[in-house]
Amino acid sequence: MPLESPLPSIAERISALNARYRHHSAISVLERALADPQVGRVTMVSSFGAESVVLLHMISLLDRSTPVLFVDTEMLFPETLAYQLDLTEKLGLTDVRRIHPDTARLAEVDPDNTLHQRDTDACCALRKTETLQNALAPFDAWVTGRKRFQGSTRKTLEFFENEEDLRIKVNPLAHWDPADVQDYIINNRLPRHPLVSQGYPSIGCAPCTSKVAPGEDPRSGRWRGSDKTECGIHFVDGKMVRGPIAAEPEGMKA
């Protein structure tokens, strides 16, 4: 059976994909995205953070050779680096690519590793956004763990998103809530990030991540004391997010 010809634009492909898979489960969306010619060459981007094990486990069940990009900002917790190695081995993932910021760029922009103290947006752009965008260049699509419950800017998140007409973002867990995530981890007996039990429900770089008290928003420990909410690897309304995102107008919310 001949492959379906690609639609003329990424926007049209996104619309068709969301219509086609609207009522599918998370793992079904992921499985079909890995094989659908409308999606193209796919990689997964994983932080190996608090909830990353869910999608990594699904990938291990579907295709362990799927490329997984892990951005090592060189400011991560030692526990995250150890967890990445341990989880990769336990799940049998065969193509986890640990990518680093460009050495020359670091020497030029952040030679003393203090940029995060002066400008967190610039630090995220240097260590994470630029690094990831370079690594994504060969791919047509990437899988993310973004979910609707993670903030007002994600309330209308679909399974497939258009990233600047450059590539497709696949969000298999878009419709999951916190209980779904925890149930999946418990039911599949998956190893948790070691910092979760120490009060870190959301884990990024060590200098910009703090413990979260009971009752606080899980992401309140990220860039505590500032209005920054995103690291900058996602696009919103055609712009790369490197700082706080304005709330959506009431009429635009789901």
Return the active site residues.
231
- Least Cα distance to 156 among 177, 173, 175, 179 occurs for 175
End-to-end CA distance of the chain: 39
- With H, G, I as helix, E, B as strand and everything else as coil, classify residue 154: helix
CA distance 48 to 232: 17
Residues 6+ apart with CB under 8 A from 112: none
CB 133 within 8 A of CB 202: no
CB 166 within 8 A of CB 173: no
